[in-house]
Amino acid sequence: MEADITSQAVGLASSTDFSILQLFIRADIIVKSVIIILIVSSIYSWAIIFEKIQLFKRINLSSQDFENKFWKSKSAESFYNNLPTNVADPMTNVFKNSMQVLLKSKRSSTLDEKMSNMLEINIEQQMEIIEKKYTFLATVGSTAPFIGLFGTVWGIMNSFQSIAISRNTSLAIVAPGIAEALFATALGLLAAIPAVVAFNKFTSDSKKYSQKLENFSKRFLSII
């Protein structure tokens, strides 16, 4: 008798424990899958966010340093010859790739057009590298709330099933399922909001940096 009372007390305590760990443990396989997907998506989104923050910080400084040195150099060719082989700065790579074409080309009436096209292609290539993984942030931002909503609907359905099976409409019966459902919704928003904010910010930063590359390209083309 005492053992039954103790087990019932433990079960009641477990059902009224709404800690994150207990919500996950009590959830069924579908809700658990939703929670795991959202947590993994959120972690990877934050990894991309920190990576892009460091990337823009680095390339803004390196490009500024490149421009300062370039415009102080005696000639574009001598500056090109003194550059290291491996460079991580996008603006430097645009200049290097364009200079390679320029040095291999002979003077002709179409040289300006050829260089202009080459600069445009090089800028697009560098921006593709910078904007890599933006699609994931956009996907998480747009789909995570709906994935969380799916977990919410599934959890509420489980709560109604519990009511039907037990024929008891007390809050103690439906509370755990509803809590799991709301937890999935919260995780969906937790994953989506930073991803959307980061995507918008990095998109704006990319446009600014792309404009910086285009401005340099126009000035470089004018001195050829």
130 assigned to some structural domain: yes
pLDDT of amino acid 213: 93
- Whether the CB-CB separation of 134 and 113 falls below 8 Å is answered with no
23 assigned to some structural domain: no
Q: Quick count: other Cβ atoms within 10 Å of Cβ 90?
A: 24
- Whether the CB-CB separation of 173 and 162 falls below 8 Å is answered with yes
Q: Quick count: other Cβ atoms within 10 Å of Cβ 48?
A: 20
5 assigned to some structural domain: no
17 assigned to some structural domain: no
16 assigned to some structural domain: no
Q: pLDDT per residue over 163-220, tens digit each?
A: 667 666 666 666 666 777 788 888 999 999 999 999 999 999 999 999 999 999 988 8
What the block records as the tokens of 53 is 């923050």
116 assigned to some structural domain: yes
| Spatial separation of the C-alpha atoms in residues 177 and 172, rounded to whole Å | 10
pLDDT of amino acid 202: 96
Domain that holds residue 143: 28-223
What angle, rounded to 10 degrees, do the helices at 171-223 and 29-72 form? 20
2 assigned to some structural domain: no
Give the pLDDT mean for 44-59.
Answer: 96
Q: pLDDT per residue over 96-118, tens digit each?
A: 888 887 877 766 656 777 888 88
6 assigned to some structural domain: no
Look at the chain and report how many structural domains it folds into: 1
Amino acid at 77: E
0.75 exceeded by pTM: yes
pLDDT for residue 142 is more than 80:
yes
